[in-house]
Amino acid sequence: MVTNARDMAALLIPGHIQTKFVEYPNEDHFSAVPTALGRAVPFALGDELPHW
């Protein structure tokens, strides 16, 4: 599943779609949610731009 998410991010970047792949080692679906949301909000608001 991680490989699929990484591949999806890689496919979107050349189309100039703002993406960022972040992996949370040793986390499961439940424990990664707070950290992922903490990163998602600034990203969605445009406070964090991808490094091209």
pLDDT confidence of 2, banded at 50, 70, 90? Answer: confident
Query: What is the model's pLDDT at position 43?
Result: 77
Residue 19 burial (10 A CB sphere; 0-12, 13-18, 19+): middle
Q: Is residue 52 part of a domain?
A: no
Q: Is residue 24 part of a domain?
A: yes
Query: What is the model's pLDDT at position 1?
Result: 67
Q: What is the mean pLDDT of residues 11-24?
A: 80
Query: What is the model's pLDDT at position 49?
Result: 54
Burial 21-41 (b: 16+ CB within 10 A, else e): eeeeeeeeeeeeeeeeeeeee
Q: Is residue 7 part of a domain?
A: yes
Domain count, the chain: 1
Residue 22 and residue 36 in contact, taking contact as beta carbons nearer than 8 Å = yes
Q: Is residue 6 part of a domain?
A: yes
Question: Does the pTM exceed 0.85?
Answer: no
